[in-house]
A = this chain, B = another copy of it.
Amino acid sequence: MPSIPFLKPANGAKFADRGIKKTGELLTPWDGTAVSGIGVLGIPLSKTSISHSGAHLAPETIRFMMHSLTTYHIGSGQDLWDERIIDFGDINMHVTDLFESQMRIHDTVTHVLHKCPDLVPVFLGGDHSISAGAISAFSQAKGRVGIIQFDAHHDLRNLEDGGPSNGTPFRQLIEKGSIEGNQLVQIGIRDFANGKMYHDYAVEHGVTVYTMDDVRKTGLIAILEESVEKLKMSCVTLYVSLDMDVLDQAYAPGCPAIGPGGMDSGVLIEGMVWLAKNGSVKGMDIVEIDPTLDFRHMTSRLAAYILMQFYTHYNNESFPI
């Protein structure tokens, strides 16, 4: 830029304060080298959704909302000012061939994990269909994976009625043999949000299910302790799949499948902080935010906040598995 005073690049920040840096500024495009630690990768696919969904826009809005958060975590006293969060960009989706899109997810995640064996990827969906390809590739790269799925729904629907959609990712993983049912823990499953046939499927395949009633009675932290302990007995790594609709509609108004009877955001944040401190989680996705339905990007804001809390409390060294 030329040296004319007061001229700044188009669309740049409107105001700069020397004492403030936004977490969005920590995002650094990947240079192709073998980076480690937490990095983000957008998977903007939502044509796979059963209902009309704009969730493919969420990688953009979550990054945008990272620009509303500063780098300073007052709770722990950490300033992330000098950190960088590697941003792998987005996977390019095909306009009309959704199977091609699914394949691109699997292939791209495989490539990335191959180049970056110590990466802790956070996949920004997209709808929940993206977890099938992402977890399948993650599992091939990392070994037997224990999955903690926060969700109001089982996502174990049959594959005949609509093909691989946002209602089927964990069914796909089980059917293809990518995981066994006992590698999966589902937390926050809600009344009137699932078919009995799919709960039966979960039970038959050894999936562990905690309903919202369980969360209210037992407490999320106790459930997580139990779950991590159990999963670590048979798995070499953990993965969190966070469907934002596990939250009550008052806290996540921008999910396609909002509803009452869900989790408070405070409880979820506390749980994610616990998981981060535990250190066993080596991959994550955040899915099912439709920015076209949200109010003031509240749900994307919350996703960015959860991502940054997780990042801040995450401690590679403590990895206990």
User: A residues near B, CB below 8 A?
Assistant: 1-12, 14-21, 23, 27, 29-32, 42, 44, 47-48, 50-52, 54, 56-57, 59-60, 63, 68-75, 79, 81, 87-99, 104, 107-108, 111-112, 115, 157-158, 160-165, 167, 189-199, 209, 211-213, 216, 248-251, 253, 257-261, 265-266, 269, 292-293, 295-296, 298, 301-302, 305-306, 308-309, 312
Contacts and interface: CB of A to CB of B under 8 A. Distances in A.
Contacts of A193: 69-70, 74
Nearest to A11: B60
9 contacts: A6-B104, A6-B108, A10-B59, A18-B160, A19-B158, A68-B259, A70-B195, A74-B189, A95-B165
Contacts of A112: 4, 7
A214 to B, nearest CB: 9
B17 A157 contact: yes
Contact of A259 (B3, B50, B301): B301
B70 A192 contact: yes
B20 A1 contact: no
Contacts of A104: 5-6
Contact of A157 (B20, B94, B111, B161): B20
A50 B95 contact: yes
A104 B157 CA distance: 23
B94 A97 contact: no
A230 to B, nearest CB: 20
Q: Which 6 A-B pairs have the closest CB atoms?
A: A2-B32, A95-B162, A19-B197, A96-B163, A19-B195, A69-B192
Given A74-B211, A111-B4, A193-B69, A260 B89 contact: no
Interface SS of A by simple majority:
loop
Contacts of A63: 10-11
A92 to B, nearest CB: 4
A191 B152 CA distance: 28
A75 B211 contact: yes
Contacts of A251: 250, 260
Contacts of A212: 75
Nearest to A48: B96
Contacts of A3: 32
Nearest to A10: B89
A17 B249 contact: no
Contact of A260 (B51, B108, B265): B265
Given A52-B292, A74-B211, A97-B163, 16 more contacts: A2-B32, A6-B92, A9-B90, A10-B87, A10-B90, A14-B56, A15-B161, A19-B195, A20-B194, A48-B95, A73-B192, A74-B189, A95-B161, A95-B162, A249-B302, A250-B265
B14 A44 contact: yes
A194 B75 CA distance: 11
